[in-house]
Amino acid sequence: MALTVLLLLELALYASCFICGIVTAASITIVQGNFGGRCILYGLVNYNATASLIGVQSSSSASLCYFVSAISVLVAVVCFSLSLYWLYTFFVDGDVKRERMWMNLMVAACGIFLFFLLISGCMLKIGRDNLCTSVTQAVPNVTSCVEAQTRKWVSPIRAGRFYNNLYKAETAVWVNFFFWLLIGVLVILQRRQGSVSKIIAGGFGGPAGGLFGDPGVTAAETEPFFNQPARPQ
């Protein structure tokens, strides 16, 4: 079938999901690098009143941040590959055909990605909230993580934009989740559209003179009743 509007929307969503995945992975990696490779999600901080410095008392396993980054990178790679495939198919073959089996696999892939993106979003949300609660409780005269970004931290920590990067990563994950939800809806619509087209083709595309494609009805049987030869006198 020709490249439909639904498929064009799907390609646009793939490009958007690719960007969201890159933003999430990059933001998490930057925060990890600024904190010496430690994952500060669900972390606890302490405050040195003598030196007026904020330090990290405990942090989560680095694999937690690696998991979130890996999911985002995987989604970005899949989106990039699908975009290239459909663009190549369209410009080389000139006729895009979507088999029902591949659309079923795509629906299953949407479900898997939605599940892992949901987990990633919840981990970022809860982990960031726990960290900010620790910051506001440990550091005097600080009521939010945004204020903590302007305070001095123990060297070599560079916490200038840690909250902004974590918030950006979380937002990109939820946007990615919403886009994949739309992708799933578009694929289901295209699958139903293909089913309806097949039903219509099967109903009216039978042999010549057939009634709604029924091979058991011949042209002779469907001739008008009054179109019979005259009886001899």
Cα–Cα distance, 73 to 148 (Å, whole number) = 29
- Model confidence at 8, pLDDT cuts 50, 70, 90, reads confident
- Under DSSP, the state recorded for 103 is H
- Model confidence at 168, pLDDT cuts 50, 70, 90, reads very high
152-161, 167-176, 220-229: segment of lowest average pLDDT: 220-229
Name the nearest CA neighbour of 185 among 195, 193, 173: 193
Whether pTM exceeds 0.75: yes
* Helices marked H in 42-161: 62-93, 100-138, 145-148
Cα–Cα distance, 37 to 96 (Å, whole number) = 46
18-22, 34-38, 93-97, 134-138: segment of lowest average pLDDT: 93-97
The number of beta carbons lying within 10 Å of the beta carbon of residue 42 is: 18
Q: Is the pLDDT assigned to residue 194 strictly greater than 50?
A: yes
List of residues 6+ apart from 208 with CB closer than 8 A: 219
Cα–Cα distance, 96 to 86 (Å, whole number) = 8
Cα–Cα distance, 53 to 85 (Å, whole number) = 52
Name the nearest CA neighbour of 93 among 85, 82, 101, 83: 85
- State how far Cα 82 lies from the chain centre: 12
Paired residues of 55 in beta bridges: 46
Q: Is the pLDDT assigned to residue 182 strictly greater than 70?
A: yes
Q: Which of the given ranges, 24-38, 98-112, 192-206, has the highest pLDDT on average?
A: 24-38
Q: Is the pLDDT assigned to residue 219 strictly greater than 50?
A: no
Cα–Cα distance, 171 to 54 (Å, whole number) = 26
pLDDT at res. 226: 44
Q: How large is the angle between the packed helices 62-93 and 100-138, nearest 10 degrees?
A: 150
Q: Is the pLDDT assigned to residue 228 strictly greater than 70?
A: no
| Run of H or E residues at 15 | helix 5-34
Cα–Cα distance, 148 to 142 (Å, whole number) = 6
- Whether residue 76 contacts residue 25, with contact meaning beta carbons closer than 8 Å, is answered with yes
Cα–Cα distance, 140 to 89 (Å, whole number) = 60
